[in-house]
Chain A
Amino acid sequence: MSDVPFKNPGWAGNTGEYDLTEDQVRGDEFVGTRPIEGGHPSGSASYPYMLPDKDPEAPLFEGPYKDRFEKILTRYPNKQAALLPTLGLAQEVRGHVSPHTMDGVAELLGLSPAYVRGVATFYTMYNKRPVGRFLIQVCTNISCNLCGADDVMGAFLRYTDTELGETSEDGYFTVVEAECLAACGFPTCVQINSRYYENVTPADVPKIVEHLKAEGAGGD
């Protein structure tokens, strides 16, 4: 068990065959260190984060976010190709991609609102309606499922006191089922906002939920 059990109760570094800290496994030296304005344009689309603080009325885009948007545009032969990264950026600042937001993105990229609607609704990661401060995505696909993902999912619903796909009354949690997150060797994998939690068991769930509640305002 890690010394910081709330962070990632069974993170995969502590198998006894490696002497690594959680930070080293996650690459914290690299993750979250690049500036909001996007850093080098080659990686400007490597955002967005999913942030706890969401402002559905945030402008598209201002300040450093505008810089990042413009850097993204420089990397493609046409504006349309920037659509997915731009939708991601819009979701980062607003928390979800409403029809209103899609229209805004359409205008920015010179595309028709109907076209953007058609593309945005094709992809699952663009939240079509508001989500809680913490979007909890539990993988229940085969590899995790074989190792008890349904129980982990049940525990998250119980401890966050919410229904699948709904947001808890306090606005903190939205729990959804995720398709394979490509961490099949570390079951059950749960993505909470931008972060992967691996080797999660039902017994870990209350600790994770309590931690998120405590972090509340500032949690990642």
Chain B
Amino acid sequence: MAYPYVSDREVRVLSKYFGDPMQRRVDTYVERGGYQALKKAFEMGQDAVIDEVKASGLRGRGGAGFPAGLKWSFMPKQPTKPHYLLCNADESEPGTFKDRELLRWDPHQVIEGVLIASYAIRAKQAYIYCRGEFFETTQILAKALEDAYEKGYVGKDIMGSGNDIDITVHVGGGAYICGEETGLMNSLEGRRGQPRVKPPFPAAVGAFGMPSTVNNVETLSAVPHIVTHGGQWYRQWGTEKSPGTKLFCVSGHVNKPGNYELPLGFPLMDLINDVCGGMKDGKALKAVIPGGSSVPILDAQECADCNLDYEGVQTAGSMLGCASVIVMDEDTDIVKQVRRMVQFYAHESCGQCTPCREGSAWMLQILKRIEEGRGTEEDLQTMLDMSRQMTGTTICVLSDSVGAPVVSSINKFKDEYLALIRRGERVGVA
């Protein structure tokens, strides 16, 4: 059940035990069938596990949507060096709050997923990289992990299978960019969390220079279910290209914000009007950011027939990202919210690449100027030009993320910018 609200349109696979504090206990988890998928995986063998996850079509839930099974298959089959599995729990994309719920309500589900993935990619050590701010959440995870060690589900000779897998909880220091997989690896190694140039890809040269795989918390949480029931079972939900269920993080101006687990392809307007109880105070919808602050804004018209799967959102003109649906009503000051997002990126830019470091800071200055009524109409063109120069020109996509809200808001809500700019002119004349 998604927490803190429930909808009868949900399909509760990963979120089945949200809101049930007993689920955090290892005994309860085992009574409810926990760690049986791990046992089954050991019996199936590594390649069969990878094939099953491939068959499920599970796509990475951290934002990029890359097929998880395919990613695992890039890892060497005959290890000559240590392999590492890295679970990305550095949840920090504005609008996203699903991994925290997965970790604090069902930590063993995450641990089991980490174990199965580690086994599949032949890793004997896994790290769960938790963002530093998650003091409370991380301790729930750490205690659960300790319990799992005690019961023999983690560590040496797991359940008498002869397999050794260690898991370590790692804590970050508060940097958005460490959620980028190569930034995460640098941070894990005790460096600044600056992304690395790819190639080499992590499966060849990853953490500590060894073959590594980075998976999101939600991706790994789905794995035990897929191993238990099979890849075809998982495909009963969602679309051909985006199978399965997904946690949708809904925030902003709706009556019932929260996480809802729904089949991919779910209509956006049903999510807002039905699942989330409609717009707050009965106001009209103005815009939606469907996938976290890094994706283009959709206006109300584009939302009307947008289906929430990777392809559907792309058709509507944006990206599903990590399915962080930020809903804005008719009274929202778009320019202010875009400025706030750009402020975030300017703060979080790691500083390696010039277009991003300089571009995000300049963009913020221009937006502040416009917000204060001192902008000019040329500023809009300047920002569009800058966005183009900031897209696809840097090591990672943080720079592209600055452009997404700026370009889409100028294209779709130009009147709001112009109103501020022209009012500014009048103030100047007076």
Contact = CB atoms under 8 A, between A and B. Distances in A.
Contact of B169 (A13, A15, A46, A187): A46
B341 A146 contact: no
A136 interface: no
17 contacts: A34-B142, A34-B146, A45-B171, A46-B169, A47-B139, A50-B135, A123-B174, A123-B175, A124-B173, A125-B174, A126-B174, A147-B253, A179-B344, A182-B133, A184-B97, A191-B133, A194-B136
A133 to B, nearest CB: 16
A40 B92 contact: no
B140 interface: yes
Contacts of A63: none
B127 to A, nearest CB: 8
A26 B136 contact: yes
B92 A43 contact: no
A182 B344 contact: no
A185 B250 contact: yes
A155 to B, nearest CB: 18
A86 to B, nearest CB: 9
B135 A43 contact: no
Nearest to A26: B136
Nearest to B178: A123
A29 interface: yes
Given A13-B4, A141-B344, 17 more contacts: A12-B258, A17-B4, A40-B145, A42-B154, A43-B141, A77-B82, A81-B189, A122-B350, A123-B132, A125-B173, A142-B344, A143-B251, A178-B133, A179-B347, A180-B93, A183-B97, A184-B96
A141 B94 contact: yes
B94 A40 contact: no
A4 interface: no
Contacts of A81: 188-190, 208
Contacts of A85: 170-171
Contacts of B219: none
With most chain A CB atoms within 10 A of its CB, the pick from B139, B149, B350 is: B139
Contacts of A87: 173
A201 interface: no
Contact of A29 (B21, B91, B135, B154): B21
Contacts of B3: 12, 18
Interface string B171-183: 1111110000000
A89 to B, nearest CB: 10
B95 interface: yes
Nearest to B210: A77
Nearest to B6: A17
A1 to B, nearest CB: 15
Interface residues of A, number: 70
B19 interface: yes
Interface in A18-64: 18, 20, 24-27, 29-34, 39-43, 45-50
B375 to A, nearest CB: 20
Interface residues of B, number: 79
Interface in A104-146: 109, 111, 118-120, 122-126, 140-143, 145-146
A178 B134 CA distance: 13
Nearest to B143: A30
A45 B175 contact: no
B344 A43 contact: no
Contacts of A39: 142, 146
Interface string B77-96: 00000100000000111111
A78 B145 CA distance: 23
B187 interface: yes
Given A84-B170, A183-B97, A143 B142 contact: no
Given A84-B170, A142-B337, A182 B193 contact: no
With most chain A CB atoms within 10 A of its CB, the pick from B82, B135, B150, B250 is: B135
Contact of A82 (B132, B141, B190, B341): B190
B324 interface: yes
A88 B135 CA distance: 11
B173 A142 contact: no
Given A29-B21, A40-B145, A195-B136, A15 B251 contact: no
Contact of B191 (A40, A43, A109, A119): A119
Contacts of A84: 132, 170-173, 187, 190
A176 B6 CA distance: 34
A152 B6 CA distance: 28
B411 interface: no
Contacts of A118: 192
